[in-house]
Structures are given as C-alpha cells and as structure tokens.
Amino acid sequence: MKLLHTSDWHLGRSLYGRKRYDEFGEFLNWLSQTIITEKIDVLLVAGDIFDTSTPSNKAQELYYQFLCKIANSCCRHVVIIGGNHDSPTFLNAPKDLLRVLNVHVVGAMTEQPEDEVITLCNKDDHPEVIICAVPYLRDKDIRNVEAGESIEDKNNKLIHGLKDHYAQVCQIAQTQRDDLSKTKPIPIIAMGHLFTAGGKTLDGDGVRELYVGSLAHVDESIFPKSIDYVALGHLHVPQCVGKKNHIRYSGSPIPMGFGEARQEKKVIIVDFEDTLNKDNIQINEMSIPCFQALEKIAGSQDKIYARLAQLKQADSSAWLEIEYTGKEVISNFRETLDELLLDTDIEIRRIKNKRMTDSVINAIYPDETLDDLDVNDVFQRCLERFDVPEEERDIITQAYLEIIKSLNEDDVNAE
C-alpha cells in the first residue's frame, strides 16, 4: 500500500495582487499524474486546502475537478482535514456527497472522537489502514478559559488539550486495529495541522502563529507510539519533527511568497509492506516542479539593473520582488524599472524602496514607523512629501478614496 502526503495548497492565494490559478492548476495536474505513475492507493491532504474561509469560484472549481479526476484513478481513497485557513463548515458541507467518491473530509474537531477515525479498505473490501484524521484544533476546542489564569496556565492547557485529543483518537484506532489485525498487520496513520516545537519557517511564507500570545508549540511526544506515520500540515518547509523520520511536514506545493522562492517543494510517498516495523517503512520525498519562477533582488541600483539584464538575456518569465537599499532617494524608480523590462515576460510584483519609504514617513514625524500609519495616513504623507498644491489635493484625495472603496467592495468570489 502506498500513500502520498501533501498539505497547504492554499488554493486561491494571490501574490501582491497577481492571481495564481495557472500555478495551482499545473500543480494539481502534476499531482494527479504522479498518483497514477506512482500507483498511489491513498492521498492524504493535511489542511489549508484553501487560502481563505471564503474561497473564490475558481479555487473551488480547481478543488472539485481534481477530486473527480482522482476518483477515477488508481487512488482508492482521499482523506482531507481542515487547516487554520479553512472554513470547517465550508469543507464539511459536501462531505456526504464526496464520500460516494471515497473522499473523506474532517473539517473540524468532531463531537465524538471516533468520528475522526477512518478505516480504509482495499479493493477486496478488506481493512488495510486506519487513519486518525485530526483536523486543526482551535483554542476553544481544547481549552476551557478560566478567570485569572496565567500565560503559563494557558500554554499548559493547550498542550494537554492537544495531547489528550490525540491520545483519545489513537486509542480508538488501536482498539480497532487489535480487532482487525487477525491475519495481516494494519498501520495507523495520524494526520494533523499544528505547529511543532523547533519547526522551520521562512520569512514571508504566511505561516500564522496558531494560538495567539502562546508558546504552545508541541513536540513529537504528543503522538502516541502506536502511530506508524504522522502526516502534518501548517509549516511550508518539508521537514521531520524531532528527528523522527515517520513524523513529517510535506510543506506547501508552490512558494507562497518570495521568502520561499529558492526552496525545493516536495510531496511525501510512504510505502507500507507487510511489516509495521517503522524502520522498514519506505518514506521517500518527491520534488515538485517549479511552475512559476520567483526571485527576490535586493541591493544598490547598479546591482538591481545588472541582475535584470541577466534575466532579460536568459529570456526569463520570473516574478520579482525588488528591494532598493541604496543611499540615494530615487523618486522614479518604478518607471525606470518598467522601461527596462518592456517587451519581456518578467513581472515586478513588489518594489520595496526603503529610502523613499523612510523619506515619506519621516517627512513630518521622524519617530513614526509604517506600522503606526494606515493607508490614508501614508497617502497624506505622500501628498506632503511631494509638495502637491493644496488646490489639487481634494480631487486627488477623492479619486484615491474611490479606488480604496472599490477595492474593499469587490466581490471576492467573482472571477
């Protein structure tokens, strides 16, 4: 039996306003082909299927088209758990219909722990694996709030709540395995969406702290020893937990930001033989192709221009984040860069002009930082910084406010 572990698709995520549906579509096509090529029996998706709780129509279309394609492949079962980005009710709404396609969805912690234990059968309808499909556990699911409790009390309750829940679910799975494993050993696979202690993250990867204000990063000890493999989601860097080869994050399939631009993306393939000895379980990483090149360029004006010339020479189609760190203030930096990249497929998704930003913010209030200001404050600083005449400010400000209003009122589900 072969399983494929993936997570953190974040369908619908954009990059500084640029839609990424082509990338998501190419990844899902690659994944479906990989499932066929590798003869995968079970697909595990460990949370954060969508980037928001109200995914767009296009993101939903990609999701359901993929599941329909997989239902007609060699893959007998798909198990999906909710992540912190997902809406539990949205994921759970079609779960009865999806079960007809052998797609099992657990969007949130269930009222009964046994509902998170899923026994999957082989083509002969014999049990072959037990899945502890534990979704993202929200604070309110696992901790009772008490007046006057300290941060340490809160942390301890969160950790104990996580550990107790996994213990309950895995005990149910162990009992089922004892009843079923008469002739052939049956593996127990646990799933989860959480932040483990020592987990690696990257700048700009969008990974959120799960329990605000807490230090509740659990370690591998919360997973009972009866588990043969743990498929985790939430962290975007592929990694093992606590040097345990069988407890893993698969990471995100595409770079979620420029901080992940140079990171190799992977899925995990787990091959179980007749033995349940963890040392004999074959666990292999498979690299995911890069569907859209991202590159971050930082430095002086000359360094940035030189790198752009190299990319043009290579006929690149990369998306760029450019950070100017030179000493001189360049007011027309964006226009100059756009001219350099005319007639190329290179796109600049973000420009960080540190000198200009500091100049605008500190024009009147030297002690302010960008975090102290909202978008309207920054716009007013720009008007003042560039000495826009008073008689022109009203009409420019009105146009600006209309643009902001339009952006805020856009139908996020319309594509």
Residue-wise pLDDT for 264-286, tens only, equals 999 999 998 755 555 668 999 99
pLDDT at 221: 86
List the alpha helices (DSSP H) in 181-317: 301-313
pLDDT at 383: 87
Confidence band (pLDDT; 50, 70, 90) for 233? very high
**Average pLDDT of span 382-411:** 77
pLDDT of 371 over the 60 cut = no
* DSSP symbol at 12: T
Question: DSSP string covering 198-256, please?
Answer: T----TTS-PPPSSTT----B-GGGS-TT-SEEEEES-SS-EEETTEEEEEE---SS-S
Residue 405, burial from CB neighbour count under 10 angstroms (0-12, 13-18, 19+): exposed
CB 172 within 8 A of CB 208: no
pLDDT at 159: 85
pLDDT of 213 over the 50 cut = no
Q: Which amino acid is at 113?
A: P
pLDDT of 413 over the 80 cut = no
pLDDT of 412 over the 50 cut = no
Residue-wise pLDDT for 110-130, tens only, equals 999 999 999 999 888 889 999
**Mean of per-residue pLDDT scores for the chain:** 86
Residue-wise pLDDT for 71-85, tens only, equals 999 999 999 999 989
List the domain boundaries for the chain.
Answer: 2-287, 296-409
Residue-wise pLDDT for 141-189, tens only, equals 887 766 666 767 777 788 888 999 999 999 999 999 988 876 678 999 9
Confidence band (pLDDT; 50, 70, 90) for 352? confident
Give percent of the chain with pLDDT exceeding 70: 83
Q: How far is CA 257 from CA 162, 203, 226, 260, 349, in A?
A: 30, 8, 37, 6, 11
For 413, the 3-state DSSP assignment is: coil
2-287 homologous superfamily: Metallo-dependent phosphatases (3.60.21.10)
pTM of the entire structure? Answer: 0.81
CB 75 within 8 A of CB 42: yes
